[in-house]
């Protein structure tokens, strides 16, 4: 299968590109390196042959040509801006990149006759779920509380409408949107890692504190309605997430419009994560309690039964320590992340 991976130099996209190569796909990566790392591309190329095009996924003409010349069968669309707080400050940038450019990508696919797509959506589309809706199923009302969540939800809507149009014209089309919860960990063989600039995610921040790169970790609020007062999240290992993509990709057939939650169905509080990071790193780094971060739902925990029932996918990594260990292994070996970092 010939797969186009957008955002393939980023954290999730690079892990997907590597795994796709390993399962025998022909992989083309599109990334403009605005957030991704050329070091990730170099690391993937140590494993297999990869076609890399440095371009923005919203460039209709260039993407359509690439889809044609590479004879692409399916697109995995990862490229996106992903900072909730930033999306509140710069909504246009988020809608431009995550929504408008996604529509451009779909137009390029239409022009090139590519009929299959797996789209990275997010649990942020659920907003703040009502207590009775936790753990969250795919049928939970989607009411995002920030432009990031809206920018992704709108793309889900566009895909649904495309499917409706394709069906009414008796055309072949299928998509799946995977709503990720908190993705964590690194390639089990430490060939790829997690490197964001700036880093805002809890686990990498704790690891930076353990490395002495940060003086302390700030816990954003301990007055939530949760057992220890800190927010609860569902952390899924990147390797499991990528397996879910490949399973879904292989399953897609004409007329499918699938939505799947990807999580492990278990919640860990911020305090649980901090304690687990201290244990894994054997470092008792400093922790302060600060004020709440705006836009943080108290609890995001998945019910991922639908993908299990439909396709037999379940997470292999169900213990938070194993997930953190894989992240720590790469971070310890690469304390400055991808050194050939090419961020613009
Ligand atoms: N947190 C801290 N201190 C920090 C960083 C984070 O207390 O220094 C807390 C956050 O407030 C939150 C939890 O740790 O309660 C997890 O925060 P992350 O930033 O690691 O992840 P988020 O839950 O905010 O967001 C992630 C993805 C989003 C996605 C969301 C969906 O980054 O893209 O999961 O669940 F939308």
Beta carbons within 8 Å of 131's beta carbon, 6+ residues apart: none
- Residue 339, domain member (yes or no): no
> Does 316 score more than 80 pLDDT?
yes
CA distance 2 to 50: 11
Closest CA to 79 of 169, 151, 136: 151
- The whole-number pLDDT of residue 178 equals 98
- Pairing label, strands 116-122, 74-77: parallel
* 343 domain residue, yes or no: no
Q: Residue 202 C-alpha to ligand 1 middle, in angstroms?
A: 6
Phi then psi for residue 299, to 5 deg, are -135, 125
pTM over 0.95: yes
Instruction: Indicate whether 104 belongs to any domain.
Output: yes
**For every residue of the chain, which 3-state class applies, written as one string?**
CEEEEECCCCHHHHHHHHHHHHCCCEEEEECCCCCCCHHHHHHHHCCCCCEEECCCCCCHHHHHHHHHHCCCCEEEECCCCCCHHHHHHCHHHHHHHHHHHHHHHHHHHHHHCCCEEEEEEEHHHHCCCCHHHCCECCCCCCCCCCHHHHHHHHHHHHHHHHHHHHHHCCCCCEEEEEEECEEECCCCCCCCCCCCCCCCCHHHHHHHHHCCCCCEEEEECCCCCCCCCCCEECEEEHHHHHHHHHHHHHHCCCCCEEEEEECCCCCEEHHHHHHHHHHHHCCCCEEEEECCCCCCCCEECECCHHHHHHHCCCCCCCCHHHHHHHHHHHHHHCCCCCCCCCCC
Contacts of 327 (CB under 8 A, 6+ apart): 184, 185, 186, 193, 194, 203, 204, 207
Query: If you average pLDDT over residues 104-121, what whole number do you get?
Result: 98
CB–CB of 299/235 below 8 Å? no
pLDDT value at residue 295: 80
Predicted pLDDT at 343: 42
Distance 111 CA to ligand 1 centre (A): 37
- 317: containing domain: 2-333
| Closest among 12, 14, 22 to 47, alpha carbons compared | 22
- For 153, list phi and psi in degrees, rounded to 5: -65, -40
Ligand 1 centroid to residue 138 C-alpha, Å: 20
Residue 99: its pLDDT value, please?
A: 98
Which one from 94, 95, 126, 148 is the annotated catalytic residue? 148
Token look-up 């993509």 returns 245
Q: Could you give the CA distance from residue 122 to residue 300 in angstroms, rounded to a whole number? A: 11
Q: Give domain status of residue 176, yes or no.
A: yes
pLDDT reported for residue 342: 42
Number of structural domains found in the chain? 1
- Phi, psi of 24, rounded to the nearest 5 degrees: 95, 10
Nearest residue (CA) to ligand 1, atom 4: 202
Q: Which residues line ligand 1 (CB under 6 A)?
A: 82, 84, 122-124, 181-182, 200-202, 205, 217-220, 231, 233, 270, 293, 296, 300
Mean pLDDT of the region 19-43: 97
127-182, pLDDT tens digit by residue? 999 999 999 999 999 999 999 999 999 999 999 999 999 999 999 999 999 999 99
pLDDT band with cut points at 50, 70 and 90 for residue 340 = low
Token code pair at residue 63: 């993407």
Question: Whose C-alpha lies nearest to ligand 1, atom 1?
Answer: 202
Q: How confident is the model at residue 188 (pLDDT cuts 50, 70, 90)?
A: very high
Q: What is the mean pLDDT of the chain?
A: 96
Identify whether 341 is part of a domain: no
> Residues 87-96: pLDDT tens digits?
999 999 999 9
* Mutational pocket test of ligand 1: of 144, 182, 217, the residue with most ligand atoms within 8 Å of the beta carbon: 182
Percent of the chain with pLDDT over 70: 99
User: Going by CA atoms, what residue is nearest to atom 6 of ligand 1?
Assistant: 202
* pLDDT beyond 70 at 52: yes
338 is an active site residue: no
Q: Residue 78 Cα, ligand 1 centroid: separation in angstroms?
A: 18
pLDDT tens digits for range 237-284: 999 999 999 999 999 999 999 999 999 999 999 999 999 999 999 999
Instruction: Kindly give the number of the ligand 1 atom that is closest to the alpha carbon of 82.
Output: 33
The residue to mutate among 88, 218, 220, 289, having the most atoms of ligand 1 within 8 angstroms of its beta carbon, is: 220
Position in ligand 1 atom list of the atom nearest CA 230: 15
Distance of alpha carbon 336 from the chain centroid: 22
Q: CA 316 to CA 47: how far, in whole Å?
A: 23
Residue 338 in any domain: the answer is: no
CATH number at residue 203: 3.40.50.720
């Amino acid at each position: 299968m010939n797969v186009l991976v957008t955002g393939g130099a980023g954290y999730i996209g690079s892990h997907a590109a590597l795994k796709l190569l390993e399962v025998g796909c022909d992989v083309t990566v599109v990334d403009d390196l605005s957030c991704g790392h050329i070091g990730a591309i170099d690391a993937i190329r140590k494993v297999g042959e990869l076609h890399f095009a440095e371009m923005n996924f919203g460039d209709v003409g260039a993407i359509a040509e690439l889809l044609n010349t590479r004879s692409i069968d399916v697109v995995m669309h990862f490229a996106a801006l992903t900072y909730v707080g930033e999306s509140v400050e710069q909504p246009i940038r988020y809608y431009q990149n995550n929504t408008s450019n996604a529509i451009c990508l779909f137009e390029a696919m239409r022009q090139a006759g590519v009929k299959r797509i797996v789209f990275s959506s997010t649990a942020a589309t659920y907003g703040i779920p009502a207590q009775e809706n936790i753990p969250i199923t795919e049928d939970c009302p989607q009411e995002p509380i920030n432009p990031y969540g809206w920018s992704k939800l709108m793309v889900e809507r566009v895909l649904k409408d495309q499917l409706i149009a394709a069906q009414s014209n008796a055309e072949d089309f299928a998509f799946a949107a995977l709503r990720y919860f908190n993705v964590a960990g690194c390639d089990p063989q430490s060939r790829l890692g997690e490197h964001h600039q700036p880093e805002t995610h809890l686990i990498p921040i704790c690891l930076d504190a353990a490395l002495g790169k940060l003086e302390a970790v700030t816990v954003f609020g301990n007055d939530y309605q949760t057992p220890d007062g800190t927010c609860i999240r569902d952390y899924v290992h990147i390797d499991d997430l990528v397996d879910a993509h490949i399973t879904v990709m292989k399953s897609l057939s004409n007329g499918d419009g699938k939505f799947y939650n990807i999580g492990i169905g278990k919640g860990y509080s911020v305090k649980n994560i901090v304690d687990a990071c201290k244990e894994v790193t054997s470092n008792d780094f400093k922790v302060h309690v600060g004020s709440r971060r705006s836009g943080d739902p108290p609890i995001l925990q998945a019910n991922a039964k639908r993908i299990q029932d439909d396709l037999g996918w379940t997470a292999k990594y169900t213990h938070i320590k194993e997930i953190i260990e894989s992240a720590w292994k790469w971070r310890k070996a690469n304390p400055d992340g991808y050194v050939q970092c090419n961020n613009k």
